[in-house]
Amino acid sequence: TMDKFRMIFQFLQSNQESFMNGICGIMALASAQMYSAFDFNCPCLPGYNAAYSMGILLAPPLVLFLLGLVMNNNVSMLAEEWKRPPGHRAKDPAVLRYMFCSMAQRALIAPVVWVAVTLLDGKCFLCAFCTAVPVTALGNGSLVPGLPASELARLLARLPCPEIYDGDWLLAREVAVRYLRCISQALGWSFVLLTTLLAFVVRSVRPCFTQAAFLKSKYWSHYIDIERRLFDETCTEHAKAFAKVCIQQFFEAMNNDLELGHAHGAMAMAPASKAAPMPPDGGEEEREKLRGITDQGAMNRLLTSWHKCKPPLRLGREEPLLMGNGWAGGGPQPLRKEVATYFSKV
């Protein structure tokens, strides 16, 4: 079965979006499971009922929403893209909007599931509105005027707790519970219907309006994500190469020092070979990987300018230098014959 899990995992990871959909589904299931595992405990006191129920109805969805955002690595990407200075690459607000919308949509699913399950179950609603039950319609309405309001409230507040309810002479508990649960379930289903309707409208109506712009935003948001990951990978590769060369040089230096130290001894060697020994072939490869950045200052400068001044989205041989500072571009870009060629790997 491990293979099965691995395959499912690979399938979900193949595409960033389907991975996020998978996380989304897992969180929705977790939300439903959390609700069923949670032990609802209505206080059955006049002032506290409403506060407790509203808390249970609203606080966990907020937590789930934030959790959904946190688990999405695109959040930091969005923040980074928003705050970076334009540099050579203009910022596109449409891309930012797209990224935010797609994250928010996915993060909203778990809270919606929580609210729907809470309403459909009915305990929360019962706890919150038990003091608002229409006693005249459901129970012995004739007895109501004789009761002071606070006494009535105290009696009704105990409806959710069967073991301490003492108002059967006024209002049968089952009747009131059924009534409130029925309303709660009706609200729950209406909420579910409303959210699915909204989602359906958004999804179906969007292609009618902004399809071309949508394709662009989708492409560039994927691009930003991939570019960031590739940059991190390249930096890691660089760091590894840096470390290897650094250590090699250190050992060589130690070796040289030792040889110098033993200049009088048996290990004295001819001056010609005192020159730095040729690094083995692996060392040459490592130096290549360094791509010319070989000291801390240079690396820091590279990382700073990656943030402050991202390169423009334009690849090509006749490119002027990508860094500014007086190396303003050469002549005008030669007009390329713009032929969009279609490649498909069918």
- Is residue 337 left, alpha or beta, with left meaning phi > 0 and alpha meaning psi from -120 to 50? beta
CB of 49 to other proteins, least distance (A): 20
List the one residue from 37, 272, 328, 346 that touches other proteins (CB under 8 A). Answer: 346
CB of 263 to other proteins, least distance (A): 28
- DSSP output for 202-223: HHHHHHHH-HHHHHHHHHHHHH
In a 3-state reduction of DSSP, which class is residue 242? helix
Q: Does 101 bind other proteins (CB under 8 A)?
A: no
CB of 148 to other proteins, least distance (A): 27
The answer to whether 39 touches 123, Cβ cutoff 8 Å, is: no
In a 3-state reduction of DSSP, which class is residue 103? helix
**Is the alpha carbon torsion for 48, 52, 58, 62 positive or negative?**
positive
CB of 15 to other proteins, least distance (A): 8
CA 17 – CA 169 distance, rounded (Å): 59
Helices 2-14 + 16-37 axis angle, to 10: 120
List the one residue from 83, 93, 278, 345 that touches other proteins (CB under 8 A). Answer: 345
CB of 262 to other proteins, least distance (A): 29
Q: Which of residues 150-179 bind other proteins (CB under 8 A)?
A: 172, 174-175, 178-179
List the one residue from 30, 121, 173, 187 that touches other proteins (CB under 8 A). Answer: 121
Please count the residues of this chain forming the interface with other proteins, following the rule CB under 8 A: 81
In a 3-state reduction of DSSP, which class is residue 268? coil
- Closest CB to other proteins among residues 203, 240: 203
Find the distance separating the first CA and the last CA of the chain, reported in whole Å: 32
Q: Which of residues 291-310 bind other proteins (CB under 8 A)?
A: 291-295, 298, 301-302, 305-306
Tokens 């930091």 — which residue?
Answer: 76
Amino acid identity at 328:
A
Q: Which of residues 205-264 bind other proteins (CB under 8 A)?
A: 207-208, 211-212, 215-216, 219-220, 222-223, 226-227, 230-231, 234, 238
Torsion of CA 146, 147, 148, 154, to 10 degrees: 180
Q: Which of residues 181-210 bind other proteins (CB under 8 A)?
A: 181-182, 185-186, 189-190, 192-193, 196-197, 199-200, 203-204, 207-208
Q: Does 9 bind other proteins (CB under 8 A)?
A: no
- Closest CB to other proteins among residues 50, 172: 172
Q: Does 281 bind other proteins (CB under 8 A)?
A: no
- Closest CB to other proteins among residues 59, 215: 215
CB of 280 to other proteins, least distance (A): 16
- Closest CB to other proteins among residues 40, 306: 306
- DSSP output for 119-142: HHH-HHHHHHHGGG--HHHHTTGG
301: its two tokens: 């400068």
